[in-house]
Amino acid sequence: KYTKFSICYYWINSLGQKTSIYSRLEDVPIPPGEENKTAALSYDYRIMPLENTPSTGMYYCEVKWNDAQKMGKGVFVLVRDTGYINTSYGWEILVTLTVLLAVLSITATALLLWKRKVLCPRRNRSNILRQKVETQLPSASPPPPPPPPVYD
């Protein structure tokens, strides 16, 4: 009478709603000479994530015979994420190197422009001082031509 039974796996969410996951019927033959003896059989089942629902909750196993049923204690499963995802850092490295090179290029250009602005006023200041001295001292000769421009 107890050789035919059904095994049901189900899940109860935080709202107390019962969702059936898997069920199967078993018909266990009794070997000759083993009649009227107690037997314990183990059935394993791997829980997979439920589609389109959060899978956190209590998971139970229940066995039903014609006139009786037995329910397990249950296992609480907390699902935090979709699982391990193997990431590739190829794009991140490429973007990081591009940004780093752009920053270095902009910094170098800014330093060159700043250096040119610092050097040019000194030349202009010396030219202005030279012109003041020449205008204060009377001279019969014409003023010397300005120096040729200097490029960095």
Whether the predicted pLDDT of 102 surpasses 90:
yes
Give the Cα separation of 113 and 145 in Å (integer): 28
- For β-strands 69-71 and 18-27, DSSP reports them as unpaired
pLDDT band at 52 (very low <50, low <70, confident <90, very high): low
Give the Cα separation of 16 and 58 in Å (integer): 9
% of the chain beyond a pLDDT of 90: 9
Q: Where are the domains of the chain?
A: 4-29+39-77, 87-121
Give the Cα separation of 61 and 27 in Å (integer): 18
